[in-house]
Structure 1
Amino acid sequence: MGSVGRLGRRIIGLCIDWAIASVISWLITRHYGGWTVYPIFAVLQIVSIWALGGSIGHRIAGLRLSALPGSQPAFWRPIVRSVLLMIVFPALVWDSDHRGFHDKIAGTVLVRS
């Protein structure tokens, strides 16, 4: 398993993912913002983490999501992780290993790929 992904890479990945969700939301609703971005963001997170081992933003930022102890995340892990990420607060609480609370609950870790 690679080293734990640091804050800069995580923020870059998050911004890329949010931008993708915003563009899709705009294509659907023809206006920027609104609540449609949130479910689109969550679905993109769940599907891409399960299929690609990380979100599109994670992969561009050189990160991948790994289940502990290093296997491919089961489908329920990205769901739990994404739901908690949408609440925002768990993502702002970290441990000494720089893992967010949402990752700890889901049993996952973002690592450099």
Structure 2
Amino acid sequence: MARMTGSWLSGPTAALPKKPYGAEPDKFRGESLGLPQSGPGSLVPTGRRVGALMIDWLMAAGVSAAFLGSNAFGGALSTITLLVWFVVGVAAVTISSFTPGQFFLGISVARIDGPVKVGFVRALARSLLLVFVVPAVITDADGRGMHDRATGTALVRTR
């Protein structure tokens, strides 16, 4: 019985990757992924991630309001905004590995398994998980959201 309950009663450290006994913990976020501590290629802090999301969302809301015209404050604004944000996010990450908000803040979506483009399938899966918000809020020891872990991606600095 202790084995069944031990996984959730052990606290948040139970989800950490298992390291050999006596191994040192990571010195910085992204070390276990082979990323640098700072500068280009390092993991992005949460504040910049949220800032990029807000820029993208405001841009999508502006496009939606322009599309709806005088009916902008009806019930369809939020739905159209979500659709615009989703389509722009998938297209932009597939083509250039960053959304407009991420570009402004010097962030890029990168695959952690190699220096190749994210691709349509990963961008689509990542955006679908972002729509539900919860996977992005739950993070691991490196600060990556569950949507990034599921798709094998990470948000890294470009400058």
Select 1:46's aligned residue among 84, 87, 90.
Answer: 90
Which of the numbers 105, 108, 117 marks the counterpart of 1:64? Answer: 108
Are 1:15 and 2:54 an aligned pair? yes
How many residue pairs are counted as aligned between the two chains?
Answer: 113
- Residue 98 of structure 2 aligns with an amino acid whose one-letter code is G
Unaligned runs of 5+ in 1: none
Say whether residues 1:76 and 2:121 are aligned partners: yes
Alignment partner of 2:79: what SS? coil
- TM-score normalised by the chain length of structure 1: 0.94
Q: Which residue of 2 aligns with 1:103?
A: 148
Deviation sequence 1:31-81 (CA, Å, 0-9, x none): 144211111100010011111211111111110000122321121011000
Computing the radius of gyration from Cα coordinates, the structure with the larger value is: 2
TM-score by length of 2: 0.68
CA RMSD, Structure 1 to Structure 2 (Å): 1.1
* Structure 2 Cα separation of the partners of residues 59 and 5 of structure 1: 13
What's the CA shift for 1:17? 0.3
The separation in 2 between residues aligned to 1:14 and 1:111, in whole angstroms, is 14
**Match of 1:78, as an amino acid?**
A
Structure having greater relative contact order (Cα 8 Å, sep ≥ 6): 1
